[in-house]
Amino acid sequence: MRETGKAEVIREDMVSELMQYIQMVTDGFAMHKRFAVERYMRTFLRRLTKGELNAAIRVFHTRGFLHPNITYKINQASEGYDNHMAHKRK
């Protein structure tokens, strides 16, 4: 049981590392949009397998940019927030 807990800490550290890179991307967003996109991305990252998290981290370390799938999800979350706010304003 202790091993499982240890694996989860490592997994959460991987999510935290990727979130730091995501926060660099969302730095220019308005505050509410940034928080919404980061919440969505944190949930998305926690649902990835350890292998997928490792691949995303490795891409950033070797190439200096986020994995294309993560960039796509950031854009999707950003557009979703914009659409939600547009409908809310009507």
Domain boundaries, the chain: 2-89
Q: What is residue 67's three-state secondary structure?
A: coil
Please give the pLDDT value at position 88: 84
- Other CB atoms within a 10 A radius of the CB of residue 50 amount to 11
Residues 3-33 pLDDT 10s: 555 656 589 999 999 999 999 999 999 999 9
Angle among Cα 48, 73, 45 to the nearest 5 degrees reads: 25
Please give the pLDDT value at position 5: 58
Terminal-residue alpha carbon distance, the chain: 52
Residues 39-87 pLDDT 10s: 999 999 999 999 999 999 999 999 999 999 999 999 999 999 999 999 9
Angle among Cα 53, 56, 57 to the nearest 5 degrees reads: 85
Is this prediction's pTM over 0.85? Answer: no
Task: Give the whole-angstrom CA distance, residue 85 versus residue 90.
Answer: 9
